[in-house]
Amino acid sequence: MGSFSVWHWIIVLVIVLLVFGTKKLRNIGSDLGGAVKGFKDGMKGSEDKPAEPNAQIPADGKTVDVQAKDVNKA
């Protein structure tokens, strides 16, 4: 009584096809597949690319050479 048989699933599939239609279900499937592919590409792309430093070039084109010091050391 707790499990559905094959006939139950076939009837549910027929009702879903009648309500939504094959074109709408095909569009939903392609949209879902595109979303999964985009997610996988996004995850793969973040692992492949090395982290880029946030270096900014001054507007006047001059480069400043500075050595950072630890202000907490006495």
Q: Specify the pLDDT at position 22.
A: 83
- At 14-68, the pLDDT tens digits run 998 888 888 888 898 899 999 999 999 888 876 555 555 555 665 666 666 666 6
Q: pLDDT-based confidence at 71, cuts 50/70/90?
A: low
Write down the pTM of the prediction: 0.41
Longest CA span, the chain: 80
Confirm whether 58 is domain-assigned: no
Confirm whether 5 is domain-assigned: no
Query: Could you list the residue range(s) of the whole structural domain that residue 27 is in?
Result: 21-46
Confirm whether 55 is domain-assigned: no
Place of tokens 């982290």: 51
Tokens of 41: 């590409």
Confirm whether 67 is domain-assigned: no
Confirm whether 36 is domain-assigned: yes
| Structural domains counted in the chain | 1
Q: Are 39 and 45 in contact (CB under 8 A)?
A: no
Alpha helices in 1-74 (DSSP H): 6-20, 22-48
